[in-house]
Amino acid sequence: MIDISKLTYKIVVLGETGGQLDVTDITDNLSWEENDGELAMRLSVTLANTTHNGKRISSIAKPNCYIIVTAEVESASDEVARVRITEWEPTRTGESDSIVLSGYDELYDLQKSQDNRYLPEGTGTDTAIKAIFSEWGIPISRYEGPSNPNAKTTYRNEYLSDIILDLMNTAVQHGEKECVIRAKKGKVSIEPRGTNGTVYVFTDALNLELSRYRISTVDMVTVVKIVAPESSDGRQKIEAIENGKVQYGKRQRILVRDKEDSLATARAAARKILEDDGKPAETFEVRSPDVPYIRKGDKVKVATRVYEGFAHVLSVQHNATNRSMTMTIEPLAEAGDEKADDQSAESELQER
């Protein structure tokens, strides 16, 4: 259990020559976030632009230098954010002299880089993803992601982050677990969502400052039409139709069967689409005192007036200045599957 009164943050800048400068005492604002649909963590910090050994902070904390944030509770500490400075903005107004620094972790290069990739038939998702990280010089500390073979695939002028996310989504459609990609201490891990050892509990009565629940049918898919690959004359034969919750209306998606896939494989993929997108989307936004160790992809437990159970963190924004945290979370669809987890992990549940 974290005692918020004993939570402190340490902010360090790694200079161009490798020296470390503790800037905790001159930090005015600090926040970092991980958002749904993005790979990289983003951090922003405002520092007083004072002098250190005769140099302004703005001449020490330069673009391409690193900022490291460590959270400390009593005698325990852990690194919670590490980014490379991409935006450098010193500002002087009257007697006030400050600098705003923003940056991203190692995964940002993949969000900003386009490439052409060709995957021969049978290429494993793990092989394809590891090749991207290797070519971009990003070390992998742990890979527990999908390894399913892929159909022959060509990506043209695509952002590498989009290629990776597409491969991961395709793997889920073929029965693989949903995974999260995160960077920590300069290395990347790919692992199933919700595998965090400590599951934090948030309740209306104890620690939730805000809970906003939302149900939406806007993006539902209720019918999947499976069509054959395009023939020589440009036609595509309808091979099967999978129906879902059509009482919400007919919301149709086309699934083109890969030449290498059987109809049975295509139907399984269609059913997976209906399983994932064929029901109303339920999401929460919650705000609480900060737990700096929580990251996108973690599992948490919540108890509110409209929902009680486990959920996955889709996005999280940490604000160290006011020691608050905002999460967008997705309730787990199958509560029954979580009962065993609830019993086995009960000793690890931590209430805030």
Which pLDDT tens digit goes with each residue over 156-181? Answer: 999 999 999 999 999 998 899 999 99
- Cα→Cα distances 25→68, 80, 87, 101, 351, Å: 14, 18, 21, 16, 30
Q: 4-105 adopts what CATH topology?
A: Phage tail proteins - horseshoe like beta roll fold (2.30.300)
Tokens of 225: 């039409």
* Predicted confidence (pLDDT) at residue 192 exceeds the cutoff of 70: yes
Give me the CATH topology for the region 109-192. Phage tail protein beta-alpha-beta fold (3.55.50)
Phi, psi of 211 (to 5 degrees): -140, 120
User: What per-residue confidence (pLDDT) applies to 1?
Assistant: 52
Beta-bridged to residue 210, according to DSSP, are 287
Which residue from 243, 245, 206, 246 is spatially nearest to 226, judged by alpha carbons? 243
The DSSP-derived string for 104-149 is: E-TTHHHHS-EEEEEE-TT-BHHHHHHHHHHHTT--EEEE-S---B
Q: What is the pLDDT of residues 229-264, one digit of tens each?
A: 888 888 889 999 999 999 999 999 999 998 888 999
pLDDT tens by residue, 262-298: 999 999 999 989 998 999 987 789 999 999 999 999 9
Report the predicted TM-score, pTM, of the whole model to 2 decimal places: 0.81
**pLDDT band at residue 228 using 50, 70 and 90 as cut-offs:** very high
Domain boundaries of the chain, sorted by first residue: 4-105, 109-192, 200-216+281-351, 223-277
**Domain 200-216+281-351 -> CATH class:** mainly beta
Among candidates 191, 178, 23, 156, which has minimal Cα distance to 99?
23
Token pair 């705000």 in the structure block, residue: 287
b (16+ CB within 10 A) / e for 112-144: eeeeebebeeebbbbebbeebbeeeebeeeebe
